[in-house]
Amino acid sequence: SAADLNHPGQRPSHLQPAHAAKLNATPRGFIPNVGQLPNEAVKFAIRDRGVSAYFTDQGFVLWNGQTTTVSQDGIEMKVPVAPRWTLVGARPVEPVASKTFDHTVSFFRGNDAAKWHANVPAYRDLRYPEILNGIELRVESRERGFEYSFHVQPHAKPDLRIRYDGITSLEK
């Protein structure tokens, strides 16, 4: 019964609070888009604590589930509030994944087994090689989301300007 599941002795080991805390502290990783996402421009996605990031060859888009209502031609519709991160002047570069986690993910949607994807690897790192001359963008999976950094070759003349589209205000 449902009441039995609330008793710690009745839960399977993977549902025990200690295991859940450990699982929540584990980085989820960058998951390649093997068809589970409808937008083919998205090459990788990462989801953590209600925030998703979608990585394309132009940068990434963040989404925390929020929507806003917009009106166009007298029709109101809800659209996601999703800031887009781009590097000004960057060339389109397909992100390259490396360093897999021990876990995999699977996607079983619908009745067509040909569209199912099992044991999809989760990656620790993404690299955007030569996104600017002599500059590589690296994105690393962390315990709480992800972190990006720039690796600059000695000959490069960095002119790093990041553009955020879709942000209307900032709060402290």
Rounded CA separation 29/143 (Å):
9
This prediction has a pTM of: 0.74
Q: Which residue has the higher pLDDT, 10 or 41?
A: 41
What's residue 146's pLDDT? 85
Q: What SS3 class is residue 166? A: coil
Amino acid letter for position 13 = S
pLDDT tens per residue across span 143-157: 777 889 999 999 998
* Terminal-residue alpha carbon distance, the chain: 46
Longest dimension (CA), the chain: 67
pLDDT tens per residue across span 16-34: 455 444 444 445 799 999 9
Q: For 143-161, give the secondary structure using H, E and C.
A: CCEEEEEEEECCCCCCCCC
